[in-house]
Copies of this chain bind each other. A is one copy, B any other.
Amino acid sequence: MTSDGCNLRVNSERLRADFEALSDIGATVGGGVSRLALSNEDLEARSWFADRIEEAGLQVKDDEVGNLSGLLSADDAGAKTLMIGSHLDTVPNGGRYDGAIGVLAALECLRRIHETGVKPRYHLEAIDFTDEEGTWKSLFGSNGIIGKISSDDITDSLTDNMAFRAALYRAGIMLPELQNARRNPASILGFLELHIEQGKILHERGLDIGIVDRIVGRATYNVVYQGEAAHAGTTTADERHDALQGAAAFIIAAHKRLTEDFPGGVVNCGGVSVMPESFNVVPAEASLLVEFRHPDTATLGDMEALMLELAQECAAAHRLTVATERVMHRAAERMSGYLTRQIESACQAEGARCMPIASYSGHNAQIMNQMAPAGMIFLPSVDGISHNPREFTEWRHVEIGANVLLRTVLQLTV
């Protein structure tokens, strides 16, 4: 198809009306939204979404992990599917844009294509993924599609997943069937996701669109310093084995060294708990929650090695031992070069000022990328505020983003 054939535009008023209606579901007093995955509000939002799909003359589909889709089928039943979407769930008292914009824009693309009578060569699917935010299990829905969810993940022996199981059951999701959500990679043409940036790079540079080229890898660790409890009055500084001093030194060193040595990485010490936790006892144990991210998996490994080295150095300096336990590791993902170029040319055609950008938060695109080419379009977040009722994206940017998404879909499928 010529680029002229892609000159379709979304119905911005209709998209905005959808956005306003959806924002009312789970609205909080401060202007935010609480639609925790599988909660009443989330189920209400899905039901509302299913109504919109039917209203548009599209086919409603759900799968074994609760993902909910609208389908626009190609004439050739054996054609591959281009999936487009994001998530309707939110964190507690989160913002209105995160996830929602991506699902609604995907629906609007299919609706617009359908009503204008354009006939794509591939099936189109606008999808809402279950539990992106991790109320129960982060990126549950997309992991289900790539075959990484089974009932074993819910019924592990370490965690009491009673409430999760009940929530799944109530939503009609059956444990023994979870693994059937897996799709055949050969059936997927690709995946596109429109999402707010959640950082302030695009906003500060005054751009319209970020074309995500990488999604950060992430590793989390428990770092546990072990010293010796002692009387805080009678034990001199030289005699102490103070686990908290070791942990404090590590916090300072990890932020300083990892930030200096890895400009593209981020590190966080999100918590520390101390035993026995008393004014007059030298801490015997200090247990840290440590996380670091980098857009390059090999460099993430280098950060990990330096972090472990620093943990040992701080232990030695304070006459302690330290145990480090890797809690999770998710490799960085490089987005499809082909889709990135397609989005870039759509931006050019739409006159959208854009830049390549790395995503420092996790997304369904990162999971989908493991089975099929995935691309991601970021919208500017005003002041980078995220997971907060004050999260805001100017509507003109939503409109530009939805049109870039629509044009990319048309370039790929018509």
Task: Report the nearest B residue to A220, measured CB to CB.
Answer: B279
Contacting pair B198 A231 (CB below 8 A): yes
Give the CA-CA distance A108 to B89 in the complex, in Å: 74
Contacting pair B272 A244 (CB below 8 A): yes
Contacting pair A274 B270 (CB below 8 A): yes
Contacting pair B273 A362 (CB below 8 A): no
Q: How many copies does the complex hold?
A: 2
A70: interface (CB < 8 Å): no
A397: interface (CB < 8 Å): no
The DSSP consensus for interface residues of chain A is mixed
**Which residues of B have CB within 8 Å of A236?**
199, 266
Give the CA-CA distance A200 to B238 in the complex, in Å: 12
Contacting pair A291 B283 (CB below 8 A): no
Within 8 A of B (CB), among A176-201: 197-200
Most buried by B among A266, A268, A361: A268
Mask for A263-284, Cβ within 8 A of B = 1, else 0? 0001011111110011111110
Interface residues of A (CB under 8 A from B): 197-200, 216, 218, 220, 230-237, 239, 242, 244-245, 247-249, 251-252, 255, 259, 266, 268-274, 277-283, 289-291, 293, 327, 360-362, 384, 386-387
Listed A/B pairs (23) with beta-carbon separation below 8 Å: A198-B231, A199-B235, A200-B239, A230-B386, A233-B293, A234-B384, A235-B384, A236-B266, A245-B251, A247-B248, A252-B252, A268-B279, A268-B280, A268-B281, A268-B282, A269-B283, A270-B274, A270-B278, A270-B279, A271-B274, A272-B274, A273-B277, A278-B289
